[in-house]
């Protein structure tokens, strides 16, 4: 049973005094400036709890603006620049709200018209993050005790003199010593002789002493305390601060955090090197491009190529460059967990069906109310034929084809996911195209990328539930789609690109049923060739939101109950016995009505069929009829996947 369901049933309280969901305390949000007032709604309560908003123009030279708010402090709207040593100045924030913040009419760094910005918001919260202001008299003989009440191990501390022009100080739990601070605005090492003496001493889980180790200028300071959750229960962890040692190889070290990160701040600590920020929303891929911003410089976002890949349990270095993975070098990092901690409350929060954006040439082309992690493009009215294209956030700028065994097409610039409200960037979207869009969420859907080993192994995932259907595809080779189902239990499998019935072969999923934490693959090239690159899409039943199931045809009509209250918006059906059958798809955008319902077949390039009444709506799920699509043939077996 998941922790949130335990809470709802009164079985468990709030975990260890911290927040229950990382989405309540951290957000990456992308927006376009307007040189005026706009509300940035990211779900973070800054008005009541306070915290830090960090913004940067992605497309050109401009400062990183860090604006903190502490409800009891009057000067809440002043900003600091991470690439500069200067004190506080005016910011582009007008108000801090209960669900984000509001920009103001100001032509500064953080809201200029038609510029694309990245923002990261850290909410004040026990066991995650605290922003604290304090005054210091300037004498090491009279240090200042700063109370932060983080309530756990402090992993990293960033300090800035707000009323003077002095470098930023950065302390990290894995770098010790009185002269071993880094500087956020500089590339210097965390090493003796750099002039960055220890700012805090005697750091505990509630307070720290400032100024005892060296003399700092008198004035007002702000400190950002970042937690390290390593000692917390694995289910409750949200943030970790750690280090690793490079090996100088493209097969670099793999760091086990216990979960997949969505945000990563890092720096080489034993030598001069830039700071790096990667996050999953702007583009942090597996085997593709990693889009970096460096806090110590005003430079635009850069495409670093493939340097480090997120995994279901942490991250893995895949480059030998000195700033990332030099042999014997040490690196520090701060990582924040991906948003897979709690189950969604409504299907509309995690699934959408969209046609072309009505505003011509304004991206994203397909709109949703959430960041899209998996997008599939099909065709709708107009008689057009063409293959269904699949893309995902972890593999963006690449395409897979559901009706083909071919490997991925690369350098597809339109297949981008760096939006909060949809996906796909391009002005040439066909009006006859339709997109089905999923957001990864606990108990609902997950996306996993892995590299084959050539021998039987288990692949970790973050679904937090037993997957009942998985689509697995080799990305760098022409091997077919292998579909795992709960019915097949790892012994039988289906081909997504074919209309075949079940095949039996232990070399795909190793005759082993998937669990809530891993799935198994054997030694077949289709699922586990040595050095093969794979993507897996995992789907599960979540009460009231999605349903993976089976039924037996009755030759007339029957209701397929999914436990929904307002019917299905998406239906996928495949015949698995008696005769071959296509992978049929219906959706509410094209019509699930008491009449003819347009449907597509994922395994063909044929235009949609509009001339039969295969499906009828029903509040609990849907109704199947015995018509030309053969989705209700008497005594035949079927699998289905439906979303409310």
**Is this model's pTM higher than 0.85 or not?**
yes
In the predicted structure, residue 85 carries a pLDDT above the cut 70: yes
Q: Is 72 or 256 the better-scoring residue by pLDDT?
A: 256
Residues in the chain, total: 644
Q: What is the pLDDT of residue 212?
A: 87
Domain spans of the chain? Answer: 19-123, 129-227, 234-337, 347-438, 445-539, 546-643
Question: How confident is residue 521, by pLDDT bands cut at 50, 70 and 90?
Answer: very high
3-state SS track over 580-611 = CCCEEEEECCCCCCCCCCCEEECCCCCCCECC
Decide: 315 and 254 in contact? Cβ < 8 Å.
yes
Q: What is the pLDDT of residue 16?
A: 54
Question: How confident is residue 382, by pLDDT bands cut at 50, 70 and 90?
Answer: low
In the predicted structure, residue 10 carries a pLDDT above the cut 50: no
Q: Is 150 or 427 the better-scoring residue by pLDDT?
A: 150
* Residues 93, 611: Cα–Cα separation, whole Å: 55
Question: How confident is residue 109, by pLDDT bands cut at 50, 70 and 90?
Answer: low
pLDDT digits (tens, 9 = 90+) for 151-187: 999 999 999 999 999 999 999 999 987 778 999 999 9
The SS3 assignment for 56 reads strand
Highest mean pLDDT among 1-5, 381-385, 489-493: 489-493
Tokens (6 digits) for 259: 């979960």
In the predicted structure, residue 359 carries a pLDDT above the cut 80: no
Nearest residue to 263 via CA among 118, 372, 152, 369: 118
Please enumerate in sequence order all residues whose Cβ is within 8 A of that of 153, keeping only pairs 6 or more positions apart, or say none.
173, 205, 227, 228, 230, 231
In the predicted structure, residue 385 carries a pLDDT above the cut 90: no
pLDDT digits (tens, 9 = 90+) for 547-591: 999 999 999 999 999 999 999 999 999 999 999 999 999 999 999
pLDDT digits (tens, 9 = 90+) for 583-633: 999 999 999 999 999 999 999 999 889 999 999 999 999 999 998 889 999
In the predicted structure, residue 3 carries a pLDDT above the cut 60: no
**Cα 178–chain centre separation:** 37
- The DSSP call for residue 140 is T
On average, the pLDDT of the chain sits at 92
In the predicted structure, residue 236 carries a pLDDT above the cut 80: yes
* Helix (H) / strand (E) containing 41: strand 39-41
Residue 280 φ/ψ, nearest 5 degrees: -70, -25
Which of the residue ranges 110-114, 309-313, 473-477 would you say has the lowest mean pLDDT?
110-114
- Burial code of 47-83, b = ≥16 C-beta within 10 A, e = fewer? bebbbbbbbbbbeeebbbbbbbbbeeeeebbbbbbbb
> CA dihedral defined by 530, 531, 534, 540, rounded to 10 degrees?
50
Q: What is the pLDDT of residue 387?
A: 79
Task: Tell me what the mean pLDDT of segment 57-81 comes to.
Answer: 88
Decide: 596 and 611 in contact? Cβ < 8 Å.
yes
pLDDT digits (tens, 9 = 90+) for 117-148: 999 999 999 999 999 999 999 999 999 999 99
**Share of residues in the chain with pLDDT > 70 (%):** 95
In the predicted structure, residue 11 carries a pLDDT above the cut 60: no
Question: How confident is residue 2, by pLDDT bands cut at 50, 70 and 90?
Answer: very low
Question: How confident is residue 354, by pLDDT bands cut at 50, 70 and 90?
Answer: confident
* Residues 108, 461: Cα–Cα separation, whole Å: 43
In the predicted structure, residue 412 carries a pLDDT above the cut 50: yes
In the predicted structure, residue 103 carries a pLDDT above the cut 80: yes
In the predicted structure, residue 52 carries a pLDDT above the cut 80: yes
Task: Tell me what the mean pLDDT of segment 325-341 comes to.
Answer: 97
Q: What is the pLDDT of residue 122?
A: 98
Task: Tell me what the mean pLDDT of segment 445-453 comes to.
Answer: 97
Q: What is the pLDDT of residue 90?
A: 86
Q: What is the pLDDT of residue 499?
A: 96
Q: What is the pLDDT of residue 183?
A: 96
């Amino acid at each position: 049973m998941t922790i949130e369901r335990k809470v709802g049933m009164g079985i468990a309280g709030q975990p260890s005094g911290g927040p229950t969901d990382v989405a309540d305390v951290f957000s990456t949000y992308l927006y376009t400036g307007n040189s005026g007032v706009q509300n940035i709604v990211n779900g973070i309560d800054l008005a009541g709890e306070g915290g830090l908003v960090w913004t940067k123009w992605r497309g050109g030279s401009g400062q990183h603006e860090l604006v903190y708010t502490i409800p009891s402090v009057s000067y809440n709207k002043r900003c600091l620049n991470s690439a500069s040593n200067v004190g506080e100045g005016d910011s582009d924030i007008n108000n801090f709200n209960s669900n984000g913040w509001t920009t103001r009419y100001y032509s500064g760094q953080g809201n200029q018209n038609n510029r694309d910005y990245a923002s990261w918001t850290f909410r004040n919260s026990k066991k995650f993050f605290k922003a604290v202001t304090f005054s210091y008299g300037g004498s090491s003989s009279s240090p200042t005790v700063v109370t932060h009440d983080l309530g756990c191990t402090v992993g990293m501390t960033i300090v800035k003199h707000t009323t003077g022009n002095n470098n930023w100080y950065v302390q990290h739990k894995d770098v010790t010593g009185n002269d071993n601070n880094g500087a956020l605005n500089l590339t210097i090492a965390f090493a003796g002789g750099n002039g960055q003496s220890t700012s805090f001493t005697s750091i505990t889980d509630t307070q720290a002493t400032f100024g005892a180790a060296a003399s700092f200028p008198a004035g007002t300071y702000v400190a950002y305390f970042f937690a390290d959750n390593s000692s917390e229960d694995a289910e409750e962890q949200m943030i970790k601060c750690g280090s690793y040692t490079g090996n100088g190889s493209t097969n670099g070290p793999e760091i086990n955090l216990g979960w997949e990160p969505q945000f990563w701040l890092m720096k080489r600590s034993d030598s001069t090197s830039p700071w790096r920020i990667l996050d999953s929303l702007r583009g942090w891929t597996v085997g593709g491009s990693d889009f970096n911003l460096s806090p110590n410089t005003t430079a635009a976002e850069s495409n670093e190529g493939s340097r480090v890949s997120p995994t279901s349990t942490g991250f893995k270095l895949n480059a030998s460059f000195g700033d990332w993975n030099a042999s014997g070098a040490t690196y520090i990092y701060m990582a924040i967990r991906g948003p897979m901690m709690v189950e969604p409350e409504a299907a509309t929060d995690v699934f959408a069906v969209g046609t072309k954006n009505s505003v011509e040439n304004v991206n994203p082309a397909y709109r949703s109310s959430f960041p899209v992690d998996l997008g599939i493009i099909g065709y709708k009215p107009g008689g057009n034929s063409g293959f269904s294209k699949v893309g995902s956030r972890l593999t963006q700028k690449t395409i897979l084809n559901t009706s083909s065994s071919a490997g991925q097409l690369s350098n597809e610039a339109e297949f981008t996911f760096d939006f909060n409200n949809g996906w796909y960037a391009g002005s040439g979207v066909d009006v006859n195209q339709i997109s089905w869009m999923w957001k990864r969420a606990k108990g609902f859907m997950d996306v996993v990328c892995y590299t084959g080993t050539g021998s039987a192994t288990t692949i970790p995932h973050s679904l937090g539930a037993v997957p009942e259907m998985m689509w697995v595809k080799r990305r760098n080779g022409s091997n077919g789609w292998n579909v795992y189902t709960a019915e097949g239990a790892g012994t039988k499998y289906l081909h997504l690109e074919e209309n075949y019935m079940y095949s039996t072969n232990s070399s795909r999923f190793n005759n082993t049923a998937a669990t809530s934490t891993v799935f198994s693959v054997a030694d077949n090239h289709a699922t586990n060739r040595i050095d093969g690159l794979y993507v897996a899409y995992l789907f599960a039943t979540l009460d009231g939101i999605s349903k993976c199931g089976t039924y037996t045809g009755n030759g007339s009509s029957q209701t397929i109950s999914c436990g929904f209250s307002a019917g299905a918006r998406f239906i996928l059906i495949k015949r698995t016995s008696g005769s071959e059958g296509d992978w049929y798809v219906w959706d509410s955008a094209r019509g699930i009505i008491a009449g003819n319902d347009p449907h597509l077949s994922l395994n063909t390039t044929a235009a949609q069929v509009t001339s039969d009444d295969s499906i009828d709506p029903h509040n609990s799920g849907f109704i199947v009829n015995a018509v030309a699509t053969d989705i209700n043939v008497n005594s035949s077996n079927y699998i289905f996947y439906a979303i409310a």
